[in-house]
Amino acid sequence: MKRPDDDHGATPLQALIEQVRLHTRQALAQVALRVARALRDGTSGKDPLAAALAFAERFAADTGPVPQPRPGAHPLARIEALLPSPVQAKLLQDVLLLACLPQAHEGLATLCRLLHPDGQPQATAALALRWLEAETPERPFALRDQLEALLCEGPVAALRIVQLQGDGPWHGQSLVPGPAVWDALMARAPQLDGAELVAGYAEVPGLQDWMAQATARRAIAALRQNLPCQLLLLGGDAAMRTTRVRALLGAAHATAVRTASGDRTQCATACTAAFMHQAALWLEAPEDAAPIASAWPQADWPLTVLASARNESQLPVLGLPLLRLEVEALAAPARRSLWQSLLPQLGEEAGMLAARYPIEPDDARDVVRDLALRQAIDAAPLALEQVAECIRARTPWSARPGVQRIAPRAGWSSLLLPEPSLHQLEAAVRRVLQQITVLDDWGFAQGRGERRGVRLLLFGPPGTGKTLAAEVIARALGVDLLSVDLASLVSKWIGETEKNLAAVFELAERSRALLLFDEADALFARRTEANDAHDRYANLETAYLLQRLERYEGVSVLTTNLRANLDSAFARRFEFIVEFPEPDAAVRESLWRVHLPASAPLAADVDLAELAAWYPISGAQIRNAALAAAFLAAAGASAIHQRHFLLAVEREYDKAGRAHPGFPAHQPWPADQAPPPQTIAR
């Protein structure tokens, strides 16, 4: 049933429901009375049928006459409007109520059972003919033809308002109300498998601009007037389409019966429910729905059909007039407006949230509810970090081979870099947070989507902190880090690599994460002259990656040991290219101190400045050596001495395949170890 509009003086919802139910019961009682009178002749007082007929008469007397006028929202009014003739409309109403008699009372179900040839608690078409012919004996054959045409062809049969069930001739089959018909007559929500009645949203912050478009206004008018047409909402993901459909329903003060678009029988059932409940039909294609190739025969559905999918091939062709609405992610200014509406206490920080998180209105409202729960428990003032925590907790995640989700923990203090490199990383974070101001408020976007997003290339020797820098940026932005193993994405099958890459980018967009391509040389290498098929397809993969990286609106970080290995076409697509050089002695000393916790039992002979001066190793090697030295000391049940560090450093040189520079002359070689071939004095 269509939702009444209380703001325009309509009857309150509960009173209207009671009116509809009362009218239905009284109309059923009058049909039961008419059937009882038509079948009274030929029955004796002790006949079970006579007792059932007497019950029908008492039921009608207790229920009372049908009130006039009928509520305007009553489903029977819609049914009558289906047929051009008042006589046909009256016949349809009588047959429908007869089919619903067993639902009204168990005594009426007993009456139908006694009259059914198979003893089923259902009315039959033969009973309908016997009753109606008794009331109009002057035209029995015309009545039979009208009833057959009504039940077996035309809009009533197409909508399955009254169905024939059973074997044999049509007049011997049972009359059964169609899907959700009884629910509609009793003003209840339909009880269906695979379908549900949904209402619209009263207001959707952030969608004002989309709702103000001409196509959206036309769609709202079509829903409000219940015009037979098909409204196509194409693009985006399922959550984005759902929000916009329900926004349209709310603006039109309408409801819809939602079901999946792939099953014809299920869609036909939902169509019957939508018609009976004065609702639109909403066909929703799942994200992984297969294309639907053929047109459907139900092209005359007398209602508005909402169809939402990623693309048109996932939806049936219904032969109805079309209105097409494009679904895209909220623009950054709309997201800012969304946060300002939902969390006005954050003030100017709404723009920062909009820049960090490409979030939809439904997700944002869920986050606000989570924040309200925290406030009720903790009674703490609202902070930006709390919003970030709730968003990350709500972020959908589906595990995928080759993609690791990392919760960033490292801060800026963990990153020891030369000032120019560090300033570039900080500028990258600021660029993300200032995008709305520059691109939207100042107009630098100029309608070009590739100007959004931030892409960084970090290059330098292994172990210099490139991956750590990506983690630091992710934490500064309050998002997770998705580390991509490119080796698991490359496939020997044509087109599979591109498909795997597309899935990774979609996952990053859904999870609102920073995307890290570590050791990116595998896929971002230079394109070569196409001497064979392998070269040609490798170049295609690189070209696809160039385009997809440019369209990605989030933050993407590529790391490589050698910048020269990457294709030159990538250079102009990076907003920041940051070098990570080998650390100098001062930085190495700081790295040693960073990787040694304050609680570590250092011996008096430990000289970190000497370690930094003698051994030019990377930050990762320093981290490994510090940990290895601790284990060596623990094995000997002693404090950590300088000799433990020296031995750990030697092992790092061995692992890297580099020549060890030896030990300072004043440092004795550990007594429990074999001496080195040669030592180098200071």
423 shares its domain with 368: no
What average pLDDT does the structure give for the chain?
83
Q: What are phi and psi of 453, to 5 degrees?
A: 85, 160
In a domain, 570, yes or no: yes
Give residue 46's pLDDT. Answer: 62
Helix (H) or strand (E) holding 377: helix 361-378
pTM listed for this prediction: 0.77
Band (pLDDT 50/70/90 cuts) for residue 296 is: low
Give residue 78's pLDDT. Answer: 83
Q: Measured between alpha carbons, how far is 101 from 23 in angstroms, rounded to an integer? A: 14
Q: Measured between alpha carbons, how far is 241 from 233 in angstroms, rounded to an integer? A: 7
* Coil, strand or helix at 680: coil
pLDDT greater than 60 at residue 675: no
In a domain, 681, yes or no: no
Asked if 38 and 59 count as a contact pair (C-beta separation under 8 A), the reply is no
pLDDT greater than 50 at residue 5: no
Task: Tell me the sheet residues that pair with 363.
Answer: none
How far is residue 620 CA from its own chain's centroid? 40
Chain segment 76-98, per-residue pLDDT in tens? 888 888 888 888 888 888 999 99
Distances (CA, A) of 349 to 55, 163, 345, 434, 474: 71, 59, 9, 12, 18
Give residue 42's pLDDT. Answer: 58
Q: Who contacts 650 (Cβ-Cβ below 8 Å, separation ≥6)?
A: 660, 676
Of 351, 366, 394, the one marking the end of a domain is: 394
In a domain, 667, yes or no: no
Give the residue, 567 or 256, on which the prediction is more confident: 256
Both structure tokens of 80: 């009558």
Task: Tell me the sheet residues that pair with 192.
Answer: 195
Give residue 551's pLDDT. Answer: 84
Task: Residue 391: name the closest of 408, 414, 366 by CA.
Answer: 366
Give residue 532's pLDDT. Answer: 45
Q: Who contacts 103 (Cβ-Cβ below 8 Å, separation ≥6)?
A: 109, 177, 182
pLDDT greater than 60 at residue 545: yes
Asked if 169 and 151 count as a contact pair (C-beta separation under 8 A), the reply is no
228 shares its domain with 371: no
Distances (CA, A) of 604 to 207, 484, 624, 635, 636: 66, 44, 22, 19, 17
142 shares its domain with 247: no
523 shares its domain with 555: yes
Q: Measured between alpha carbons, how far is 404 from 201 in angstroms, rounded to an integer? A: 36
40 shares its domain with 152: yes
Please give the share of the chain, as a percent, with pLDDT higher than 90. 26
Distances (CA, A) of 269 to 228, 275, 298, 303, 455: 17, 10, 12, 14, 49
Query: CATH number for the domain including 290?
Result: 3.40.50
pLDDT greater than 60 at residue 350: yes
Query: CATH number for the domain including 531?
Result: 3.40.50.300
313 shares its domain with 270: yes
Domain of residue 345: give its range: 332-394
Asked if 115 and 127 count as a contact pair (C-beta separation under 8 A), the reply is yes
CA-derived radius of gyration, the chain: 37
In a domain, 113, yes or no: yes
18 shares its domain with 156: yes
pLDDT greater than 50 at residue 530: no
Q: Measured between alpha carbons, how far is 561 from 656 in angstroms, rounded to an integer? A: 15
17 shares its domain with 165: yes
Give the residue, 319 or 529, on which the prediction is more confident: 319
In a domain, 624, yes or no: yes
In a domain, 663, yes or no: no
Task: Tell me the sheet residues that pair with 480.
Answer: none
Give the residue, 136 or 420, on which the prediction is more confident: 420
Domain count, the chain: 5
* Coil, strand or helix at 514: strand
Give residue 81's pLDDT. Answer: 81
Give the residue, 300 or 370, on which the prediction is more confident: 370
Q: Measured between alpha carbons, how far is 447 from 430 in angstroms, rounded to an integer? A: 22
Q: Measured between alpha carbons, how far is 174 from 102 in angstroms, rounded to an integer? A: 12
How much is the average pLDDT of 229-243?
Answer: 91
Task: Tell me the sheet residues that pair with 576.
Answer: 456
Give residue 631's pLDDT. Answer: 94
Q: Measured between alpha carbons, how far is 565 from 581 in angstroms, rounded to an integer? A: 17
Q: Measured between alpha carbons, how far is 93 from 77 in angstroms, rounded to an integer? A: 9
Both structure tokens of 144: 């039979």
321 shares its domain with 336: no
Asked if 275 and 190 count as a contact pair (C-beta separation under 8 A), the reply is no
Strand order in the sheet with 304-309: 195-199, 255-260, 280-284, 304-309, 229-234, 322-326
Kindly provide the b/e burial profile for residues 628-640, where b requires at least 16 CB atoms within 10 angstroms of the residue's own CB.
bbbebbeeeeeeb
In a domain, 12, yes or no: yes
72 shares its domain with 218: no
413 shares its domain with 527: yes
Range in 102-111, 113-122, 453-462, 516-525 with the lowest mean pLDDT: 516-525
pLDDT greater than 60 at residue 73: yes
Helix, strand and coil in the chain, % to nearest 5? 55, 10, 35
Q: Quote the crossing angle between the two packed helices 106-115 and 48-63, to the nearest 10°.
A: 140
How much is the average pLDDT of 167-191?
Answer: 89
Band (pLDDT 50/70/90 cuts) for residue 680 is: very low
Of 579, 604, 631, the one marking the end of a domain is: 579
Q: Measured between alpha carbons, how far is 551 from 505 in angstroms, rounded to an integer? A: 10
How much is the average pLDDT of 412-439?
Answer: 90
Identify each DSSP E strand in 261-410 by its residue range: 280-284, 304-309, 322-326, 403-406
In a domain, 432, yes or no: yes
How much is the average pLDDT of 491-507?
Answer: 77
Q: Measured between alpha carbons, how far is 11 from 5 in angstroms, rounded to an integer? A: 8
Give residue 300's pLDDT. Answer: 67
Give residue 227's pLDDT. Answer: 92
Range in 357-371, 386-400, 420-434, 648-662 with the lowest mean pLDDT: 386-400
Give residue 670's pLDDT. Answer: 54
pLDDT greater than 80 at residue 137: no
How much is the average pLDDT of 144-153?
Answer: 84
307 shares its domain with 424: no
Give residue 529's pLDDT. Answer: 46
Of 527, 547, 579, the one marking the end of a domain is: 579
Give residue 471's pLDDT. Answer: 94
Give residue 83's pLDDT. Answer: 82
Mean pLDDT comparison of 226-235, 262-271, 299-308, 431-440, highest-scoring range: 226-235
